[in-house]
Amino acid sequence: MTMGLFYADCLASLALALFLPLLALEGSAKNFPGNQSPDILDSTNILRIRVDISEADVARLNGASRSRLQGGPYVRPSGTATVREGNRVYTNVSIHLKGTSSFRPIGHKPALTLNFSKFAPEQTFHGLRQISLNNSAQDPTYLSERICRELFEAAGVPVPRTTYAVLTLNGRNQGLYVLAEAYDKRFLRRYFNDVTGNLYEGGVLTDVSERMDVNSGSDPKDQSDLKTFLSAVTHATQSKQLDKLTAVLDVERFTSMIAMEIMLCHCDSYAMNRNNYRLYHDRDSDRMIFMPHGMDRTFGIGNRCPVDIPLWPALKGSVASALLATAEGNERYLSRLAELNATLFDLERIEQRALTLTEQIRPVLEEVAPAARPRHEAEVHRLLENIAARKFFVSRALTECGRRLAFDTTGCAKLDNWSATPRQTNPTSEGSFPGDDRPALRLVSSPEAGTVSWRAKAILLPGRYRFEGRVKTRGVPEHPDYGARLMMSGRPVKPSLNGDGDWEQLWCSFTVRGSPAELEFICELKSPEGEAWFDLDSLLVRCR
């Protein structure tokens, strides 16, 4: 599989003047005076950071590590460290081990969080109060975190920026790390005028309805904003309407985030796993803003999830589920996904960005492991193949979605393009019941015909639906095997209608899962005699 072969088959990407690092400046970040990113986050230089921890703190941190690795309670003890970078020396730096699947004890390339201001309020690292040193234990390319964060930024989704660093820990070279800025007020100022709102941290595999820590905010004990938000999520889930949710959630940004998560195969994300996210209350708009985290296993890295996951995968995040359970939410998502696929998912530019970063980091990788080059080249090649395969899959799936059934603002879609079955021998026509002017599909049966029907096909997006319509019969024997009925892809809607009754509503509830599906809707009369009429205007598919 090559980039060229896939690229030739994909939807044409819109031309972009500049790529990801410059696109980020045109995304959702606000260039407020004095709030630009620190120089280290814009530089192509790889930082050299030395961290020294006392033996007592190493023992304390590793003691917690052993407990955690053996299934003990999760604890986050901190120690203090001295940090050196260039001519700068930072003392009393708070340090703790970080990560879940990437968690490693000291001595095995640990991931670290360094807080420079906790014990020394005026101390910062190149203007940053806190940084994370991610060990890329799950990403042998060291590219996923950087490239995906740049893509999220370009899509208008707030996300901390990254750079590269080499870590020496207690005199031992640990190799390359991805350095990330923290979710803090300095980060928030790049996107928001008011940074006094609560910044909630989603726990490991926990949803917004569960306990969430507050990382910052002028009054962290007041979590009425979260209660209001949860109430709106519950209303959207139960009513299948977004009116109350859009009043408290930045739906545009949230839709962009879940579209990016699914497009990039970020399976360990909020939408698909209730993981790796932050939630901020922007007081200016009085809306909640979701922000992604932990993007070291995208595009099938580590076989976390395949590159052909459907555009509507199983969702665990309650807010994502509430959004995509509505017709409006589905249309918003599909429209945004198509836009991002055309503008940002540009294979040539992503490949060039990956190769540029690879040239930057490869000499550093070879410092620790001189024979690392062939393996790293193979991993990068695999990543690029996966990216190309994902582009191909998404583009093809979006093309199929273009023929989907269109719903109105009430969540209803009228079926049309009805046609008679080819095997039918008896006359079947559109008409109206005698004395009733409403347009109808008429079926006339006979012993020779046995079963006659009208049929229509339509593509539906994943979701819950109801196929319904009004039916009337005349002269159909009252027998359990005979009658007029609605059917959908071979499944009966309700017991058949027979005799000479009045108009009666028939319906069937069904679910489309995983990906768009083409379904056949059937108006059928099974009888040796008699007639049936199906009220044409009432034959609808309704979102549930």
Give 466-516 pLDDT, tens digit per residue. Answer: 999 999 999 999 988 899 999 887 666 667 899 998 899 998 888 888 777
Q: Is residue 121 part of a domain?
A: yes
352 shares its domain with 456? no
Percent of the chain with pLDDT over 90: 61
For residue 1, name the pLDDT band (cuts at 50, 70, 90): very low
143 shares its domain with 33? yes
Q: Is residue 21 part of a domain?
A: no
Residue after which a domain boundary falls, among 148, 168, 191: 191
183 shares its domain with 224? no
109 shares its domain with 179? yes
513 shares its domain with 526? yes
Residue after which a domain boundary falls, among 147, 170, 191: 191
Q: Which of 394, 357, 346 is nearest to 16 (CA)?
A: 346
184 shares its domain with 202? no
In the chain, the number of structural domains is 4
C-alpha to C-alpha distances, 512 to 166, 198, 419, 543, nearest whole angstrom? 49, 38, 24, 11
350 shares its domain with 272? no
Which of residues 368 and 350 earns the better pLDDT score? 350
Residue 44: count other Cβ atoms within 10 Å of its Cβ. Answer: 10
Q: Which residue has the tokens 């932050």?
A: 278
132 shares its domain with 248? no
For residue 350, name the pLDDT band (cuts at 50, 70, 90): very high
Provide the pLDDT for residue 522. 92
Chain segment 296-323, per-residue pLDDT in tens:
989 988 766 889 998 999 899 999 999 9
Q: Is residue 367 part of a domain?
A: yes
Q: State the Cα–Cα distance between residues 428 and 432, nearest whole angstrom.
A: 12
Q: Is residue 406 part of a domain?
A: no
Q: Is residue 234 part of a domain?
A: yes
Q: Which residues pair with 82 in a beta bridge?
A: 52
Chain segment 369-418, per-residue pLDDT in tens:
888 899 999 999 999 999 999 999 999 999 988 888 888 888 899 998 89
Provide the pLDDT for residue 245. 96
Provide the pLDDT for residue 436. 74
Burial class of residue 213, CB neighbours in 10 A (0-12, 13-18, 19+): exposed
Q: What is the mean pLDDT of the chain?
A: 86
Q: Which residues pair with 53 in a beta bridge?
A: 81
Provide the pLDDT for residue 501. 82
Q: Is residue 400 part of a domain?
A: no
Q: Report which residue type is found at 335.
A: S
Provide the pLDDT for residue 429. 55
Which sign, positive or negative, has the C-alpha torsion 459, 307, 9, 144?
Answer: positive
Q: Is residue 208 part of a domain?
A: yes
Provide the pLDDT for residue 449. 73
DSSP state at residue 208: T
98 shares its domain with 185? yes
Q: Is residue 31 part of a domain?
A: yes
Residue after which a domain boundary falls, among 191, 223, 239: 191
For residue 52, name the pLDDT band (cuts at 50, 70, 90): very high
381 shares its domain with 253? no
For residue 217, name the pLDDT band (cuts at 50, 70, 90): very high
Chain segment 67-109, per-residue pLDDT in tens:
554 555 555 567 899 999 999 999 999 998 887 777 788 888 9
Provide the pLDDT for residue 510. 87
Provide the pLDDT for residue 71. 53
387 shares its domain with 333? no
Q: What are the DSSP calls for 29-55, one per residue?
A: ----TT-SPPGGGT--SPEEEEEEE-H
Let me know: does 102 contact 137? Beta carbons within 8 Å.
Answer: yes
Q: State the Cα–Cα distance between residues 374 and 477, nearest whole angstrom.
A: 77
Q: Report which residue type is found at 8.
A: A
Instruction: Kindly report the length of the chain.
Output: 544
429 shares its domain with 504? yes
Q: For residue 100, what are the domain limits?
A: 27-191
- Assess whether pLDDT exceeds 80 at residue 2: no
